[in-house]
Amino acid sequence: MTEQINIFVNARFLCEPITGIQRWARETLFALDLLIEDGTIDGSKYKIILLSPTMPSDMPKYLHLSLSVRGLLRSHLWEQIELPFLARGFLVNFKNTAPMFKKNMSMQIMDLQPFARSDTHSKAFNAIYKTIIPWAARSAKIITCLSGNTVREVEKHLGISKDKCVITESGHEHILRFESDDSVLSEHSLDKGKYLLAVSSLNPNKNFAAILRAMKLAKVDNKLIIAGGTNPRIFRDQGLEKMPDNAV
């Protein structure tokens, strides 16, 4: 019998609060699990092992993906020092960070905000990511990006050829696993089909103020519904004194 090829996944994200990046990574694992189940990926040839520094509090149930909790360190230290030795094979990284000196791996770059818009993050955040991302991106065999714009940012800010980048896609299928609940419309005094929905964490780079200005220019009277919490500072920092009346 042919020995299985181990594919390792940097699953540190499973221990983090779920925002867009963590959701994308979780859904990608879910899709990989289904591809093994339906035979698209040969499960007898490839074994996918998730590596994590701690046990996730809400570990998803997978049919064919196994979890290995290893290491003594946490966060970036675990990722940079222990993970390269734990991943004895090809390593897949779904977030903006990855081991800086491991060659046999892929790295997902969602965006390059620390380079393109450093004002949207703290100095400490920018310092960490401006150190890790260039080294890891140059070490990786493959860089995966969600859009052509990110590929152009990789070329501009990191000096890495677009030939090293592969554009993947964001999925939407997870929404189909949930039943719609129209009661939320009445809770917020909304009419079905007469609102705009923005699903995101409230960060300055999400440009919510620009959405509101575009609605005004287009003379759109619908309410803007923001799912992701409230933070009036985001609007104030973008030239608006408060959360506008047509935003919920």
Based on the number of CB atoms within 10 Å of its own CB, is 185 exposed (0-12), middle (13-18) or buried (19 or more)? middle
* pLDDT recorded at residue 143: 99
Residue 161 and residue 154 in contact, taking contact as beta carbons nearer than 8 Å:
no
The tokens for 8 are: 């390792």
Residue 100 and residue 91 in contact, taking contact as beta carbons nearer than 8 Å:
no
pLDDT-flagged residues of the chain (< 50): 234-235
* pLDDT recorded at residue 96: 93
Nearest to 144 by CA among 122, 167, 114, 116: 167
Domain 5-167 CATH superfamily: Glycogen Phosphorylase B; (3.40.50.2000)
pTM of the model: 0.85
107 DSSP β-pair partners: 93, 143
The tokens for 245 are: 């009346």
| Helix ranges restricted to H, 140-191 | 148-153, 183-187
* pLDDT recorded at residue 213: 82
Would you list the domain boundaries of the chain? 5-167, 180-237
Residue at 118: amino acid letter? S
* pLDDT recorded at residue 201: 64
**Helix, coil or strand: residue 49:** strand
Residue 100 and residue 132 in contact, taking contact as beta carbons nearer than 8 Å:
yes
Work out the angle at residue 197's Cα, subtended by the Cα atoms of residues 25 and 191, and round it to the nearest 5 degrees. 140
- The per-residue pLDDT for range 43-97, each reduced to its tens digit, is 999 999 999 999 999 999 999 999 999 999 999 999 999 999 999 999 999 999 9
User: What is the distance between the alpha carbons of residues 161 and 152, in angstroms, rounded to a whole number?
Assistant: 9
DSSP 15: G
Handedness of CA 236, 239, 241, 242 (dihedral sign): negative
* pLDDT recorded at residue 181: 87
